[in-house]
Every structure is written in C-alpha cells, then in structure tokens.
Amino acid sequence: GTLILIAPNVESLLPTIVSRCQKIPFHPLSTPDLKMVLQRLGHPDLLQDEQLIRMAQGSPGLAIQYWEKRQTIPLEVIQACQSLPQNAKEALEWARQIDKALEMELQLWLLDYLQQQYWSSYGNAEILKPLEQAKTYLTSYAQPQLVWEVTFLKLTALRV
C-alpha cells in the first residue's frame, strides 16, 4: 500500500519517518496556470481581481476562499480602502464603517487584503507596519474601532 504523508516541512517530522519516505515537493501554480484552473472551475469573476490572485500565491483553493470572503464585505468598504486615507476625518469614518460592518474574522482578512493592496500600489514597507500592528492588537482583543482608528491615522501620516 501507499501512504501519503503531508507536512509543512521536513523538520516537523521525526528523522526516522523522513528516512523511510520519498519526498515529493508541491509548488504553487504559476499565475497563468492558476487562472486556467479557476476558469475551468467556473470562477471567471475571480480572474478580474488581481489582488486576490496575488494573495492566493498559486493556490486555487485559497483564491476561491478569498473571493468568497471578499464578497461578504460591503463594496463601499472595499472601495474606500483602495487608497490611503486622505485626512483624519476620512480615517475615522473608515474605522467606524469597518467596525460596524465586519465581524472580527473578516476584519483580520481585510488587513491581509489591504497589505496586498497597499504593497502593490505603493511598494513601501513602512505602510505595512501599522497594518501588522493592527493584526496584533485585534488578536489581543483590543477594541476594534480604536485599532482601526489608530491604524488609519498612522496611514494618513504616511501618505505618499
């Protein structure tokens, strides 16, 4: 018989197990291959969102999962966050809107989406730091609207 053992890396397994196994590495799909698979699976709308394609990093399953999450976020929230907030009033309004509209799981996902969005738009690592801090605070049970307010105010100060 054949047993397939899947592990994140070889170091996570005991050496005695590794010595009895044949390693078969799986690599992420290239972007064209990922798009072809998504097309065949019946997700042509997903192909239009380059952010989600990049976030999926070659995984059709992740791309579909991210697409489904993105569909649950109100369009006005996604549109508002496409660029950095222009001023403090806008930053505070976005924070209120996100806190009111999204459950915690979606707020955490939105941070990942914004990191991808801002990195591809600005290419500035300094912009990613407040978003990473926000993840830490949100997972530490800080008040979500306050976390978003501080994050967006920091991003307002970093506007490029």
Q: What are 111-155's pLDDT values in tens digits? A: 999 999 999 999 989 999 999 999 999 999 999 999 999 999 999
**How many CB atoms lie under 10 A from the CB of residue 57?**
12
pLDDT value at 160 more than 70: no
Q: How far apart are CA 78 and CA 55, in angstroms?
A: 15
CA distances from 71 to 10, 38, 67, 98, 132 (A): 36, 17, 6, 15, 23
**How many CB atoms lie under 10 A from the CB of residue 95?**
21
pLDDT of residue 9: 86
Q: How far apart are CA 53 and CA 103, in angstroms?
A: 23
pTM for the complete prediction?
0.80
pLDDT value at 159 more than 80: no
Given a contact cutoff of 8 angstroms between Cβ atoms, the answer to whether 97 and 76 are in contact is yes
pLDDT confidence band for 82 (50 / 70 / 90): confident
Q: What are 45-66's pLDDT values in tens digits? A: 999 889 999 999 999 999 999 9
